[in-house]
Structure 1
Amino acid sequence: MLVRGEHLRQAVTYCIDVLEGVPAAQWQERAGGLEWTCWETLEHLADDLLTYALRFGLAQPSAVPRVPLRISSDRPAGPANVIFGDREAGPEGLLTVVEACGGLLATAVDTTDSATLAPHVFDASDPEGFAAMGIVETLVHTHDIAQSMTRVGEPLQDLSERVLARLFPDVPVIDTPWSTLLWATGRIETHDRPRRTNWRWYGEPRSHG
């Protein structure tokens, strides 16, 4: 199952649909089991999407460990980002930032040679791998935020199925792809699998032959 830019755009649309219209005060609540606020978590998501896209703006992505942008944090325990949302634009403005960053990554994925590799902390990956990473970040962090806002939503099972096949080949699907993805990323426990306290994905290129 291939992962393309269109699938990333679907994930970002899901994020916006679930989170738009939430009162500004709720964005200062802690996001799920994270140490970050809901606002900080959404900024972190935007930052992930942007920095993934920037890797493929280079002529030789594999030759540069990371794009050397200045990284900072708004508070000691907050996420370290290269971009931040304008607080005066409110939550809807920050969702616009996420949409823009997701769109950049989707475009980069679809216009970069599929054999191109870029570095990642979990080993080098190709554009499809980074698309899948962006989808995982989008879906699970939307879940983190929605938990604190009592927002109900469930992404297309197809998205979870694609990223599980691409990034979590060691994880069998039990129940639904979405619940399996939440388990694989340490968000939930199930009746037959205790909650993960240590996890990673595997981004190395895979054959679709």
Structure 2
Amino acid sequence: MRNMGGEQVEEAVASAVALLRTATERDWETTPAGRLEWTCRYTAEHVAGDLIAYAGQLAGRATKAYVPFEITLDEGTGNEDVLQVIETTGALLAATLRTTPREVRAFHPYPYRSANREGFAALGVAEVFLHTHDIAAGLGLAYEAPAGLCADVLARIFPHVQPGADPWRTLLWATGRGDLPGRAPVTEWRWRNNLVVPAERLTLQGVTPAAATDLAAGGDGGFAWVEGGPFQGTRDAAGMLLKAYGAGVHRPEWGVFVLVRGEDGRAVGGMGFHGPPDEDGRVEIGYDLVEAARGNGYATEGLRALSAWALEREEVTSVFATTDPDNTASQAVIVRAGFARVAGEDSGSAEGAEGAEQFAYELRG
């Protein structure tokens, strides 16, 4: 899987600073930064502040709020010096990303109150790209961020945005900085880090389009799996997620989750929804578990946690699950999770994707 980490932050900072160094003799103090109400100078200082803040969140393992500090530049600091500060804070974030374990999450408000190291890396890269665009627009400079890195950002913190042929223009559109043919202008937007649902021994970690791309292609999706993982069902679900993402209908909270053990950070299975709730408020859930992890109650624990999360949503009235009649182990998992068998019109069964008879179960709030 193509990582998002220190190297990418350094790449973003280098591309930005190289351009802005060509205009350090210009007036940054009074020139507005593109469509922002900020000046070019304030915007540059803001970039440095964001980079060090993200490093502080991860290094300090802050989980409830932002660490209460900010960066202050010395009086008389010139434009060239500001760029040096951006390089320095970028290097600090890059170093923090390289030394932060994968399972560490720190506070970030949007939208689920936390982000992992890949999320903070994507946030840092996006801040650099977008605000360099703003400063460049104010100073009359031409700037184009690297397309591949823009696509990586979109696939991690803009999972709800349909990808476009031009990732840089798509990122600008998604943040209200440009237009895209056939799409309405964006006037309000937020980052979207992945959702994590806690369980007793597990966390259910939302799969981003970036991770789904790797899983569907036979990779690990950025997770450390137990022997034999991931199961084919998880790869198939990742492929369905990618289809929804490409069509612009992916709703991340109703997507795919990987079950990760708290004791060692190992992924043991996949679980997720077949799509958002229907008009009656019913949402269907499915799961699989790596063979080496079966028999430990992980599927039951994960199913309880994710079903409970779903039923807390206002738009959900029930959670639905199906299983093959001969899959007694799966039936036991569903029943232990609190589901009740529901009868079909005649036989108490439902039809699967290929028309095969299946047993149906439902859990109501």
- Superposed pair shares fold, TM > 0.5: yes
Match in the other structure for 1:202: 192
Structure 1 residues 108-140: Cα deviation after superposition (integer angstroms, max 9, x where no partner):
111100110101121200011000000000000
1:149 deviates by 0.9
Contact 1:166-1:206 within 8 A present in 2 as well:
no
Unaligned runs of 5+ in 2: 195-204, 212-220, 222-365
Count of residues in Structure 1 that have an aligned counterpart in Structure 2 = 195
Give the whole-Å Cα distance in 1 for the aligned partners of 2:177 and 2:13: 19
Give the whole-Å Cα distance in 1 for the aligned partners of 2:169 and 2:175: 10
1:61 deviates by 2.6
Match in the other structure for 1:184: 174
Give the whole-Å Cα distance in 1 for the aligned partners of 2:40 and 2:139: 9
Whichever residue aligns with residue 2 of structure 1, its letter is N
Match in the other structure for 2:103: 115
2:93 to 102, 105, 113: 105
Match in the other structure for 1:68: 68
1:87 deviates by 5.1
Q: CA RMSD in A?
A: 1.5
Q: Relative contact order: is structure 1 or structure 2 higher (C-alpha 8 Å, sep ≥ 6)?
A: 1
1:25 deviates by 4.1
TM-score with structure 2 setting the length? 0.51
Q: Is 2:79 the counterpart of 1:91?
A: yes
Give the whole-Å Cα distance in 2 for the aligned partners of 1:156 and 1:126: 23
Unaligned runs of 5+ in 1: 70-81
1:23 deviates by 4.2
1:17 deviates by 1.0
Map 1:1-209; keep pairs closer than 5 Å. 1-28=2-29, 29-58=31-60, 60-62=61-63, 64-69=64-69, 82-86=70-74, 88-122=76-110, 123-204=113-194, 206-207=206-207, 208=211, 209=221
Contact 1:85-1:93 within 8 A present in 2 as well:
no
1:8 deviates by 0.7
Contact 1:114-1:126 within 8 A present in 2 as well:
yes
1:95 deviates by 0.2
Match in the other structure for 1:77: none
Match in the other structure for 1:73: none
Alpha-carbon spacing, 1:206–1:2, altered in 2? closer, same or farther (3 Å): farther
Q: What SS does the corresponding residue of 2:108 show, helix, strand or coil?
A: coil
Identity of aligned residues (%): 39
Q: What SS does the corresponding residue of 1:61 show, helix, strand or coil?
A: coil
TM-score with structure 1 setting the length? 0.88
Give the whole-Å Cα distance in 1 for the aligned partners of 2:187 and 2:74: 34
Range 148-157 or range 39-48, more displaced: 148-157
Higher strand residue share: 2
